[in-house]
Structure 1
Amino acid sequence: MTLVQVAFRDECAQLGAVLRTLDDADLDRPTGCPPWTVRELLAHVRTGVGRLTGMLAAPAPPRAEVGAADYFGAAKFTPSVDADRVADARREAAALPDRDVLAADFDRAWRATDAAVRAQPPGRLVRTRHGDAMTLADFLTTRVVEVGVHGLDLAAALGRTPWLTPTAAEVVAGLLTGGREIPAGLAWDRLTLVDRLAGRSPLTEPERALLAAAGFRRLPFAG
């Protein structure tokens, strides 16, 4: 398997393991992604990891037009798109009433995606629900970003140590840095890099200057 496939499996398996330790009080906690609760954010992540099964059942586009970094464009975070995203997650969470149902549904979703991905030929292309034509590898990278970064949100909401797996950290950090080295002046590991560039912790002015000089980008949903 490729690194991104391993990262997807690792991060989903880790989140699934955490999910099975939660109780109703945990699921009803607020998150740093308002107005979502932990339950609603998990429903959003579950939907995100399951998208590829339908995409792979559809005809492939003739060519890729968008890469993984460009997928997270500002157009996907307009007020109307955000409102739909919030409403969808709340509706889906209502259909997953308890921890066991949510855990089982998440497990089915990511494992079905994993199986569908492994059945594809090299170079497979897909079209997203937004109309983006991408390589399968690039879209799977965006799924690792979704599970990994929202895993940071969930860890913060639950008061737990972040569980970002090494493979997912490598994939997400590579996307955010364009494969370049982290500036020595930052002294960050990959987890810290992802946390900062995903807007989960504030940046100091010197950090902002070093990031700008390095040409690193923050995710549009980082704020």
Structure 2
Amino acid sequence: MEQGRVLEAFHLEAGQLARAMAGVSGAEWRLPTRCAPWTVGDLLAHVRVVIAWLPGMLTAPAPTRAEVSAAEYYRPDGRFAPDTNAARIALAQDHAAEQLTGAALADDFNATWQQVDRLCRAEPDGRVVRTRHGDPMLLSEFLLTRLVEVAVHGLDLADALGREPWLTSPAADLLQGLLLGPDGTAALERLRWGQLRFLRKATGREPITREEASNVSRLNIRWLTLG
């Protein structure tokens, strides 16, 4: 995966999310999301937490070589176990509680994504990092997993706030490639899904009918473990 392409998509998608959150009212921060038990504020705090791992990863010693791709990062192991998910939920809630207002949450997210963007742009192509799960990955591949977080939870936040999704085309294209591979466009045409609808269905945000499930199976599509 080309590092510059992923960085540009991350820049655009995170910027869109930051601008959307800047206009959230006091009451809206407490609205529930589909990612229970998180509120809008909790969910934005979660997105901030998962991109805030990067500065520390970039200062740590680099592994000699990458061994895990973005798709392999989502393998169904302990990172999605109940106790890990519980810790993930609590960490986001704790971070949200540290902020005095929703506006402070929005400002914190805005500052964090811009710091991450700036630091990653200073890194050479082929940079290898180690994730908190121990995976040696190309920075570009790990950034792709962070783009998943920003884009997919951006859909969750838009839905919770009753707004139109702000998913950007560069992010949608990269997520389609991650989830469907190089022949993704042909697969979507056979399924008769647009990118936004596909992303909702592939991540459990929209139910799949029995006929659609049959079509997915016939096309040998395998969903990633996203949570």
Note whether the superposition's TM-score is higher than 0.5: yes
TM interval, shorter chain, is over 0.9
**Cα pair 1:151 1:164 within 8 Å, conserved:** yes
Indicate the SS of the match to 2:147.
helix
Which residue in 2 is equivalent to 1:201? 206
1:160-214 Cα shifts (integer Å, max 9, x gaps): 1111111111111110001213243321111111111011000011211222222
**Cα pair 2:188 2:194 within 8 Å, conserved:** no
Which amino acid is 2:141 matched to? D
**Cα pair 2:46 2:92 within 8 Å, conserved:** yes
**Cα pair 1:183 1:210 within 8 Å, conserved:** no
Which residue in 2 is equivalent to 1:153? 156
| 2:118 aligned with 1:115 | yes
Indicate the SS of the match to 2:129.
strand
1:72-101 Cα shifts (integer Å, max 9, x gaps): 122221101001001101100001221221
Which amino acid is 1:175 matched to? L
1:21-50 Cα shifts (integer Å, max 9, x gaps): 101211101110111111001000011122
Give the gaps of 5 or more residues in structure 2: none
TM-score of the superposed pair, with normalisation by structure 1: 0.95
Which residue in 2 is equivalent to 1:69? 71
Which residue in 1 is equivalent to 2:91? 88
Which residue in 1 is equivalent to 2:102? 99
Which amino acid is 1:195 matched to? R
Task: For 2:94 and 2:85, locate their aligned partners in 1 and report how far apart those are by CA, in whole Å.
Answer: 14
Indicate the SS of the match to 2:57.
helix
TM-score of the superposed pair, with normalisation by structure 2: 0.94
Q: Which consecutive segments of 4 or more residues in structure 1 shift more than 3 A?
A: none
RMSD: 1.3
Which residue in 2 is equivalent to 1:176? 179
Indicate the SS of the match to 2:27.
helix
Give the gaps of 5 or more residues in structure 1: none
